[in-house]
Structure 1
Amino acid sequence: MMDLLGYGAFFLTTALIFSLVTLGLNLQWGLTGLFNVGLAGFVAIGAYTSALLTTPDDAARLGGFGLPILVGWLGAMLVGGIAAAITGIATLRLRSDYLAITTFGVAVVVQLVALNAQKLTGGPFGIGFIPRPFGGLAETPLLFNLSNLAVVSVVTLIVYLALEHLSRSPWGRVLKALREDERAAISLGKSARFYRVQAFAVGGAIMALAGALQAHFTGFIAPDNYLPALTFQVWV
């Protein structure tokens, strides 16, 4: 029975991390109409950023600053948001299929960098010894999984409520207007590109946060975790 509860908590934690990625996607696609199939790339950016900031010093690679986990999560959101904004500035003139192809290419590039930049990412060997919340409970799997489930649940709930508030705010209404009728929104003085880049950046930051949560939950990351299949799992 205890093993079943522990597995259930582990499964729900994983599902909530995927749900967090989906919330970022919903801001981009559901609210703004931006067809992003490069999710895996932004999740990877968040995971590697947080891992590099929080792991112990390692002579084999750069990073390993040993900072608190919360700092790693905030750093992941910042770097993920900047990466998404740069991608948005470069690509959001494109539409539908063309935007999808470009964002997919971004995800592939990120995965290849993670695989080959061994001095930064550990290459195919990945990064281990990522600090885990409640790591002291690791020898008691049920308590460890329940504690992580509680943390991920709170983070997901906060992000969900924040996005719900944003969607009903004037900012969110502009995004919906751009999705439904771009010409009408522009005629009212709204900058389509400005708002789309903002939405893409916020969505990317949320995806990066999900990647950071997953990295600290599992304690190890490698390039194979961020193959394109991850993007399609989230879309499904």
Structure 2
Amino acid sequence: MDTLLLIKACFLLVPAFLLGCLLFSRLRWLARLPAALGLGAVLAFGVAGLLPGSMDYLVSFSIMAIIYSILSLGLNAQWGYNGHLNFGVAGFFAVGAFTMALFVTSPPSGLMAAYAQQWFGLNAPYLAGVAAAGIMAGVVAYLIAQPILHLRADFLAIATLGIAEIIRLVFQNERWLANGPQPMSGIPQPLSCVFDRAGCGWLPDGLQSVLSVMQPRDYSYLYLVIVTLGLALVYVVLEAMVRSPWGRALRAVRDEEDSAAMSGKHVKSLRVQSFVLGAVVIGVAGALYAPYMVTIDYSHFKPLFATFLVWVMLMLGGSGNNKGAILGAFVIWAVWSGTGFVTDSLQVALQGVAPDVASRMSFLRWAFVGLLLALIVLFRPQGILPEKKRVSRFLDKAPED
């Protein structure tokens, strides 16, 4: 294995190790860490040795799957914990992405000012942009929650879907806000200097020398580590919250609202808190998405793509189960990516025979995902990993009969 593949495998070791920690979560820490490290090493160096030509694709696939995993976790915080039928995921996703872009970019100047407009540009650090994206999405969710959270089921779904479309149209038409219908480009990527020839001034010379074999096009390996750490942080925080008394109160409101109210729970406040929490997580996903894409516009946040797909992910993985939300995101993103290859091949094959049919091949992907959703609802409504009714690790096990 040459030096370049070895370094790439070292970057893959971080997400592979965290995957091992998730898989071996039932073990104690003294056993979990070496087991996760062993599994991570096998996966990372195995991929580098056996599939060197596919590594770049697997990395880009994993980055998008992780971003969708965070979206799925955000929706799980709303629907899985508290029963909010939120069809406005795309709206909070857009708020997070555009807030990130506005915070970390500089305002256009010179000739570019005539073509690119934006409300402000703070040239802020990456972490400040992530925090601002989550906070802004939470503020928007809080303002939306006040008039609509008294709605239930399909009425709430219609309201949130309409709000998401309004948010998208605002970003599409108000050019002063985020360049309107024209894309916002030049979103800086965190730590991109690591692979530049000039290098980072704070990076030790020895490490800079080792990383010099990698090119700027290999930046996705570093960004995979960044988004993986973001996913791990979101997962740990949500797991701690759902297993707390506050999380159990959310589930009580979801399952039997009247009984929760009679037990002294502030039902409306808990519903608003759950809705805001999910929006913050979705906003963080948008903050991770924007730098990876470098250029974003309103078309990236259509409700059909950024909402419907996330719902299928959560339903397949298991509503109310954070591990299930992550698993569902990876499975559905694999299905979506795989059907893309199939539809492209069919489009080329049918172009000369039936051009009208060939032009509609892209809709076959949506038909397949829709069919998959119908099968999930009919045969596995609880998902691959069902919700665990016992959420507290501190309660004694119930005595056996």
Q: TM-score, normalised by structure 2?
A: 0.57
Question: Which residue does the alignment assign to 2:292?
Answer: 217
* 8 A Cα contact 1:128 1:219, kept in partner: yes
Whether 1:126 aligns to 2:201 is: no
- Looking at structure 2, the residues matched to 162 and 185 of structure 1 have their Cα atoms a distance apart, in angstroms, of 24
Give the drift of 1:3: 4.8
1:231 has 2:288 as partner: no
Report sequence identity in percent: 37
Cα offsets for 1:69-95 (capped at 9, x unmatched): 111110001100011111111111000
* Cα offset, 1:147, TM superposition: 0.7
Deviation at 1:135, TM superposition (A): 2.2
Pairwise CA distance, 1:2: 4.7
Q: Deviations over 1:207-236 (max 9, x none)?
A: 001001000111111000001121001111
Distance in 2 (alpha carbons) for counterparts of 1:221 and 1:196? 32
Distance 2:65 2:239 in 1: 20
Residue number in structure 1 paired with 2:65:
15
1:6/1:141 contact within 8 Å kept: no
Cα distance in structure 2, aligned partners of 1:93 and 1:191:
14
2:336 corresponds in structure 1 to none
Matching residue's letter, 1:33: G
1:136-155 maps to which residues of 2 (within 5 A)? 136=193, 137=195, 139-142=215-218, 144-155=219-230
1:33 aligns with 2:83: yes
Report the equivalent of 1:96.
Answer: 153
**Structure 2: 5+ residue stretches without partners:** 1-50, 197-214, 313-401
Instruction: Tell me which structure has the larger Cα radius of gyration.
Output: 2
Q: RCO greater where, 1 or 2, for CA within 8 Å and sep 6 or more? A: 1
Measure, in 2, the Cα distance between the counterparts of 1:134 and 1:79. Answer: 24
Give the deviation of 1:134 after TM superposition.
2.9
Q: Does 1:158 align with 2:236?
A: no
Match of 1:42 among 73, 78, 92: 92
Shift of 1:187: 0.2
Alpha-carbon RMSD: 1.2
Query: 1-side partners of 2:216 and 2:183: how far apart?
Result: 26
The equivalent of 2:380 in structure 1 is: none
Q: TM-score, normalised by structure 1?
A: 0.96
Q: Distance in 1 between matches of 2:146 and 2:256?
A: 21
Q: Which residue of 1 is the match for residue 143 of structure 2?
A: 86
Offset, 1:61: 2.5
From 260, 277, 286, the equivalent of 1:202 is 277
